[in-house]
């Protein structure tokens, strides 16, 4: 489960089985829709779980929260709202193409 944002503070809550690949897709605008339209390119929060059902349930739970509660969650782990994926893409390459 992860939360993306943009310079305006719009929030997007999503779930994926490959966070690096999915964040790269968001940054590249690879899929049309909400995240591309609002240029949601900064990863500001993430949680992992080995159970996909738990991840989907957590995503649904957080999507129902008021904005201020989502902001508090982000601030608890990332008070300066830094892009947590910055190190992954610092070299400009797609992380899904990196070798083992």
Per-residue confidence (pLDDT) for residue 93, from 0 to 100: 52
How big is the CA angle at 26 (ends 17 and 43), to the nearest 5 degrees? Answer: 75
Tracing tokens 């991840």 back to the chain, one arrives at 55
Q: Are strands 2-5 and 11-14 parallel, antiparallel or unpaired?
A: antiparallel
Tokens, residue 86? 């910055």
- What number does CATH give the domain 2-92? 3.40.1440.10
Residue-level pLDDT, tens digit, the chain, 100 residues: 999 999 999 999 999 999 999 999 999 888 888 989 999 999 999 999 889 999 999 999 999 999 999 999 999 999 999 999 998 755 555 544 444 4
Per-residue confidence (pLDDT) for residue 100, from 0 to 100: 44
Per-residue confidence (pLDDT) for residue 50, from 0 to 100: 85
Per-residue confidence (pLDDT) for residue 87, from 0 to 100: 82
- The CA radius of gyration of the chain, in Å to the nearest whole number, is 13
Q: What is the dihedral of CA 76, 56, 1, 55, to 10 degrees?
A: 80
Per-residue confidence (pLDDT) for residue 32, from 0 to 100: 87
**87 half-sphere exposure, CB direction, 13 A CA radius:** 2
* 58 membership: H or E segment, kind and range: helix 52-64
Per-residue confidence (pLDDT) for residue 99, from 0 to 100: 45
18 within 8 A of 79, measured Cβ to Cβ: no
Per-residue confidence (pLDDT) for residue 45, from 0 to 100: 97
């Amino acid at each position: 489960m992860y939360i993306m944002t943009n310079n305006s503070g719009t929030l997007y809550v999503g779930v994926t089985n490959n966070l690096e690949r999915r964040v790269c897709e968001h940054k590249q605008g690879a899929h049309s829709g909400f995240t591309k339209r609002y240029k949601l390119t900064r990863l500001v929060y993430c949680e992992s779980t080995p159970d996909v059902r738990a991840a989907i349930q957590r995503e649904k739970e957080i999507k129902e929260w008021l904005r201020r509660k989502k902001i508090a969650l982000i601030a608890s782990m990332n008070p300066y709202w830094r892009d947590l994926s910055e190190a992954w893409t610092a070299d400009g390459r797609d992380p899904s193409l990196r070798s083992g």
